[in-house]
Amino acid sequence: MNSTHNTPYKLITSLFLSIVLIVTFSHELLANNKSGSSKKAENIIGHLPYMESIGAYLSLSNQFLYDENQLPVLTSGSELFIPSIFCQTSRLEETSTMQMEASDLSDQFFMLIDQDNDLCLTQNHESQLAWFALDPGENEWENIKAWEDLSTTILDNNIYLIPPGTSQQSPYTHGLRIPESAIGKRIGFTYSPITATGNPNIGYPIKVWDIRYFFGQDKYDSAGYPTYVNEGKRLEEIPLNTSLEEVVESPSRPRIENLIMKGTFLTGFQLTAEYDFIANSENEFEDVSRFWWGEVGTTEIQAYFQNPVYLSNPQSPVLTIEDVAKVYSVSVLPIKKESRVSSGNNSTYYVVGNTVTTTSENTNNQFTQPSNISNLKFSNALNIENSVSATYIYEKGDPIAEDNSEYTWSYIDAQGVSHILASDKIIESGKVPDSPKLLLEQSGLTLKLDMLPKDQFNREGKPVSISDNIETAEFIAEPTVVQLTLNDTNSYPVSITAKYTSGSDDITLLGNWASTDESIATVDNQGNIRLNPSLSTEAIGSITFNYIGKTVTIDVIVDALPPSIRNLKLISIMENGELSLFENQGATYDFDNGGKLNSNDRSTYIWRIQNETTVIGSGVVVNSGVVPFPSTSSPIYHSGKVVVLEVTPKDNFNRSGDMIPIEGTLEEVNGIEVEPTPLEIKRQTTAQLRAYALFDGGRKFISPIGIPALDGTWTVNGQGVSISYSGYVTAGNFLTSGTITYRYKNFNIVIPYTVIE
């Protein structure tokens, strides 16, 4: 049989002894170059290491073709490994994670024996392992009994070789990614066992030409190099590898696109996975994809072909209470079942694609949606003493949905606290039962209607709400201003009326009354306002009425009293009770501004003669509380008469009070005097006679004013002179003499005169 690759394992028998010598020499050189401990002395030849059992395993992580019995089929791209992790099993100090992860494989896959107890080399065995494509040629595989019956092609291109350590089970040996050139052939390998120490430390290569089986070498009877080639033989079948025969062409893998969930996402219902199955096949096929449902994060790890637990239809299990409040997931492993011609036979295969997962959060899912509410609105105004209606549109999320929505009427107070008025389920779809009657106490607050869309399955939609302000009542005070005057002892009632669209209410007794300044005015709980009796000045204050957070203010204005005077009295009274005409101080009084702030005395006065229209003095006081006596001669004219002083209280704000009179008798004239007496006057000159009224306190010049009844009268008794009413005497051209008589009241006086040169 011709080989496509010339290997040392095809030399003729006659050269076998030479090979043994060469190998022996080579092994001795290798042994002499090794370091480590061994039971063999450096100059003693020990036993060759051998493989009691070895086998290849197929990595299923990238395996996507299986036969009709659902066993893996080798394709281009399939990955094979030797579990060299068992090289460590004799090193107790190296019980590593990799050993633990190899627990799904038995040590039959790699059982190296050294009769001298030399340990397996835990380094790279890359040069000890070779992978081959095997071709039986004209023979049937059933007739193959040995490596030499096959044509072998070594697969040593690094493109196909998987570095040691890529698989945790193969830390020291490289794996094989089967190339397309191996299609139609089987895969085999050779491996030379190697120990870390010993002489020799490399055994004869074992030749595995049927990877469906474990292979093993014979135990050596003696040390040194045997005279036969220990190529190994088939042992028992490997259960995992029974289907690993010829490599077939890698099929086009199916895939899943547009995976979504459909259905009613509620307990008691099932969901359905809906997707597009892309077969990538020209042959007839059947979609036999597998499904795993559950909480997110639990399905993908289960989605592999070898898992015996799966669902073969796209429906989920019935959703239960355990699924509530969880994100649900479905993972789909795309599998197509198709017929393919292989080795002239029509065979059934399962072609596996990559797992696809979606969750219940996928926005493309077609769940029967919860129902919704739209166009929620109030039907009438939010007026006091009225109920409010509302309507809405119920949008079914499911054709079989029935309106089981819930509503809540509430109002929100001034502090933002919500108070429920009514809450229940809808009776008639599209119409919200009326709210309770709105009360005056809710004036100006916010009325809110909350709706929770629901159906008969208690599926809840998105809550919706509307709100608006309740009618604000107008609070009207009557009166709005209370005007008081100092010393007022009366009570003044104020009433409050709440007015709104449909009526009004007297709320005087419902709210809280308060005074902003009780030193001005007080108020009782019925709205009666009283002046504080202690208040002595004009003031402005207010009374407040508060009800349901709304305040009404009533102004209180306290006016001052009119100005007034007290204790008006005349001064300069003589012992006889008459008013002195000498150094008269007039009158004094006490001025009261009536509590007017910044008010000053501007009182007016009049001195008049009783029962006459004659006024002898008047004016505005200069000094508060003092009325001056007339400074003119007028009082002299009325001596002995009763004089009346009238004082009218006034201030700088032109306010006036009640006039207060007081009267007294002017001092009587005791006599009269005229000067000069006698009178000498030169002719053709003028001289004045001055008349004086005599009083107890002295005399007063009678200043003539042209009224004889007041001035007195002058009479000339003789020739040569004349006299005016004011007492001026004019002499003529003649020298003469005579008398002049002056009459005043009841008094007469004669004054002699002489006209001289």
Q: Convert the pLDDT of each residue in 83-132 to its tens digit.
A: 999 997 643 334 333 333 344 688 999 999 999 999 999 988 888 999 99
Which pLDDT value is given to residue 341?
66
Q: Tell me whether residue 174 is exposed, middle or buried, using C-beta atoms within 10 angstroms of its C-beta: 0 to 12, 13 to 18, 19 or more.
A: buried
pLDDT confidence of residue 7 = 33
CA 183 to CA 186: how far, in whole Å? 8
Asked if omega into 479 is within 30° of 0 (cis), the reply is: yes
How big is the chain, counted in residues?
A: 757
**CA dihedral for 575, 579, 584, 590, sign (positive or negative):** positive
Question: For the segment 30-56, what is each residue's pLDDT rounded down to a tens digit?
Answer: 333 333 344 444 558 899 999 999 999
Q: Residues 351, 284: contact at Cβ < 8 Å?
A: no
Model pLDDT for residues 610-627, shown as the tens digit of each residue: 998 889 899 999 999 999
Task: Beginning with the edge strand found earlier in the chain, give each strand of the sheet holding 686-688 in spatial order.
Answer: 686-688, 728-731, 721-723
Predicted local confidence at residue 43, as pLDDT: 57
Q: Backbone phi, then psi, for 500, in 5-degree steps? A: -145, 180
**pLDDT, position 366:** 87
Least Cα distance to 698 among 570, 579, 572, 580 occurs for 580
Q: Which residues of the chain, if any, have pLDDT below 70?
A: 1-43, 89-104, 341-345, 633
| Fold (CATH) for 671-756 | Immunoglobulin-like (2.60.40)
- The conformation of residue 323, written as its DSSP 8-state character, comes to G
The Cα 659–Cα 637 span in angstroms is 26
Domain residue ranges of the chain, discontinuous segments joined by +: 8-241, 255-367, 372-469, 474-559, 564-666, 671-756
Q: Secondary structure of the chain: what % helix, strand, coil (to 5)? A: 10, 40, 50
* Contact call for residues 218 and 201 (beta carbons, < 8 A): no
User: What is the topology classification, in CATH, of domain 372-469?
Assistant: Immunoglobulin-like (2.60.40)
Locate all alpha helices (DSSP H) within 500-654, ordered by sequence.
634-637
Nearest CA to 181 among 132, 254, 245, 241? 132
Is-contact 132 205, C-beta < 8 A?
Answer: no
Tell me if 440 sits within 8 A of 452, measured CB to CB: no
- How do 151-154 and 129-135 pair as beta strands? antiparallel
Q: Is the pTM of this model over 0.75?
A: no
Distances (CA, A) of 566 to 122, 347, 592: 132, 139, 8
Distance of alpha carbon 186 from alpha carbon 137, whole angstroms: 12
Q: 86 — phi, psi (to 5°)?
A: -75, -5
Question: Topology of domain 564-666, per CATH?
Answer: Immunoglobulin-like (2.60.40)
The reply to whether 255-367 and 372-469 are identical in fold is: yes
Start-to-end Cα distance in the chain: 205
Query: CA dihedral defined by 42, 45, 47, 49, rounded to 10 degrees?
Result: 60
Alpha-carbon distance 567 to 589, whole Å?
A: 5
**Residue range 255-367 in CATH 2.60.40:** yes
What CATH number should be reported for the domain whose range is 474-559? Answer: 2.60.40.1080
